[in-house]
C-alpha cells in the first residue's frame, strides 16, 4: 500500500534507465513535484554480464523485422522477461541502499531497452514488461513514455529536456547546454528564458563500444585509451559526416544502429576508435549551430564523459566551457535515470513531458501508461 500524499506535494519515484546502450541498468531515487523541486535520494548502476549483453545484441538484430510495437520476434520475448527481472533486482538493491521500503515509493518510471526507434513510421519499441515489474516490486509502474509523442507525429526523443531545464534552473539558468553521451548523444539547449531546443546530435558511445568489443572483447574504450593512441581516418570521418541526418533541422532523433561503420573494416583498433570518437565530437560540434543562444557552458552527462578523447575533442571544438556533470554538482551517471523518474512524476500528474522544440510535436503534451501494482499481481 502506498502512502497518501496531499495534492501538490512531491512524489517519490524510481527511474530505471537502460536506454540505447547495452551496458546495464541505471536506477535513481528522487523526490520531486515535477517542476523545480528535486531531492536526490540515491542511485546505483548494475552492469549486464557478457552473456546477457550478447543476448541483447541478438535481440537488436531480431527487432529489425518489427512492424508493430507488440511484436516480439526471435529471442525478444525471452530477453524481455530476463531484462525485466534484472530491473526488479535493481529496484530491490536501490531500496536497500537507500534504506527505503517499496511502500515508501509512489512510482517506478520504467524505460526498458530500446530495440527499434523509427519515428518516421510512428514506431518506437522498448522491451520490458511493466506489468511483470509492478508484480515483482509491488510498486506502480509508469512506462511507454515515448509512445504518445510518436503517435502524435513527434520524434519520441529526447525526453530528458524537461529535467535538463530543472538542472539549468539549479545552476542559475541559461543559456546552457546539457549534453548526454550514451549510446546515442543528445543535447538540450536551455535558453535564458527557459525555452528548450533538444535533439539527438549523432553517435554517442554505441559505435565505439561495438567496435572495441568486436576487436578486443572489452565492452568499451576505457578512458579513451585506444582512441588516444590512434589516428583519425579523415576520409572515413568525412563519409560518416555526409549522412543526410546532419542536414535535417531539429528536432530529430536516431536509432542506435543508424550509422554503418563498415568503412573502418581492416583498420587497427586504435585508428578505428580515434575515428569514431572524432565522429561523435564533430557531430556534437555541428549541432551547436542550431542553438538560438550560444551556451556559456556545456554540462556533459552519460558514459561518454569518462572518455578522455571525447572530452578533449569537445573542449577543443565547442565555444563554451565544457564541464562534467560532477564539476557542475551532479552525478553524470545518474542524470538520465533521475530524468526518467522526474518524467514519470510529470506523467502521473498530467504535466507535459515533450514540447515542439524537443520532439517536434505540435504542442506540449504528456504521455506514458500506468500499471498499478494492485492490478499486476
pLDDT score of 22: 79
Instruction: Please give the Cα distance from 192 to 295 (Å, whole number).
Output: 9
pLDDT of residue 4: 46
Percent of the chain with pLDDT over 70: 97
> Contact at 8 Å (CB) between 355 and 150?
no
pLDDT for the residue 20: 61
Q: What was the pLDDT predicted at 1?
A: 32
d(CA 186, CA 325): 15
Can you give the pLDDT at residue 8?
61
Q: Give the three cell numbers for residue 112.
A: 526498458
For 85-95, what is each residue's pLDDT tens digit?
999 999 999 99
pLDDT in tens, 343-369: 999 999 999 999 999 999 999 999 999
pLDDT at 19: 62
Dihedral angle, C-alpha 221, 222, 223, 224, nearest 10 °: -20
Residue 6's pLDDT is 46
pLDDT at residue 83 in the model: 97
Per-residue pLDDT of the chain (377 residues; tens, 9 = 90+): 344 444 468 999 999 998 666 789 999 999 999 998 999 999 999 999 999 999 999 999 999 999 999 999 999 999 999 999 999 999 999 999 999 999 999 999 999 999 999 998 999 999 999 999 999 999 999 999 999 999 999 999 889 999 999 999 989 988 999 999 988 999 999 999 999 999 999 999 999 999 999 999 999 999 999 999 999 999 999 999 999 999 999 988 888 889 987 889 999 999 999 999 999 999 999 999 999 899 999 999 988 999 999 999 999 999 999 999 999 998 988 999 999 999 999 999 999 999 999 999 999 999 999 999 988 76
Residue recorded with cell 550560444: 294
Tens-digit pLDDT profile for residues 204-261: 999 999 999 999 999 999 999 999 999 999 999 999 999 999 999 998 888 888 998 7
Amino acid at each position: 500500500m502506498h502512502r497518501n500524499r496531499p495534492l501538490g506535494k512531491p512524489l517519490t519515484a524510481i527511474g530505471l534507465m537502460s536506454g540505447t546502450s547495452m551496458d546495464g541498468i541505471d536506477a535513481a531515487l528522487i523526490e520531486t513535484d515535477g517542476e523545480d523541486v528535486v531531492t536526490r535520494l540515491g542511485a546505483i548502476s548494475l552492469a549486464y554480464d557478457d552473456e546477457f549483453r550478447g543476448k541483447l545484441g541478438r535481440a537488436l538484430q531480431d527487432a529489425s523485422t518489427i512492424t508493430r510495437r507488440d511484436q516480439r520476434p526471435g529471442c525478444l520475448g525471452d530477453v524481455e522477461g530476463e531484462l525485466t527481472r534484472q530491473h526488479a533486482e535493481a529496484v530491490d538493491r536501490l531500496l536497500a541502499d537507500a534504506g527505503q521500503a517499496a511502500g515508501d515509493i509512489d512510482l517506478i518510471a520504467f524505460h526498458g531497452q530500446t530495440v527499434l526507434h523509427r519515428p518516421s513510421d510512428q514506431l518506437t519499441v522498448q522491451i520490458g514488461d511493466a506489468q511483470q515489474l509492478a508484480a515483482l516490486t509491488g510498486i506502480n509502474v509508469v512506462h511507454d513514455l515515448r509512445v504518445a509523442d510518436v503517435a502524435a507525429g513527434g520524434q519520441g526523443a529526447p525526453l530528458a529536456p524537461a529535467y535538463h531545464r530543472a538542472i539549468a534552473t539549479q545552476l542559475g539558468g541559461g543559456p546552457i547546454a546539457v549534453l548526454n553521451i550514451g549510446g546515442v548523444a543528445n543535447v538540450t539547449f536551455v535558453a535564458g528564458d527557459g525555452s528548450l531546443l533538444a535533439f539527438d546530435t549523432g553517435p554517442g558511445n554505441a559505435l565505439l563500444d561495438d567496435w572495441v568489443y568486436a576487436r578486443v572483447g572489452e565492452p568499451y574504450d576505457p578512458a579513451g585509451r585506444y582512441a588516444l593512441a590512434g589516428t583519425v581516418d579523415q576520409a572515413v570521418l568525412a563519409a560518416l559526416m555526409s549522412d543526410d541526418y546532419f542536414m535535417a533541422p531539429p528536432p530529430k532523433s536516431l536509432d542506435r544502429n543508424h550509422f554503418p561503420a563498415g568503412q573502418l573494416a581492416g583498420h587497427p583498433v586504435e585508428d578505428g576508435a580515434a575515428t569514431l570518437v572524432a565522429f561523435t565530437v564533430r557531430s556534437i560540434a555541428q549541432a551547436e549551430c542550431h542553438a538560438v543562444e550560444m551556451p556559456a557552458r556545456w554540462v556533459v552527462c552519460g558514459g561518454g564523459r569518462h572518455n578522455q578523447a571525447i572530452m578533449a575533442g569537445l573542449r577543443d571544438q565547442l565555444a563554451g566551457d565544457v564541464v562534467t556533470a560532477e564539476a557542475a554538482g551532479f552525478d553524470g551517471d545518474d542524470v538520465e535515470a533521475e530524468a526518467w523518474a522526474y518524467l514519470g512524476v510529470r506523467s502521473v500528474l498530467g504535466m507535459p513531458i515533450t514540447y515542439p522544440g524537443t520532439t517536434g510535436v505540435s504542442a506540449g503534451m504528456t504521455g506514458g501508461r500506468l500499471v498499478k501494482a494492485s492490478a499486476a499481481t
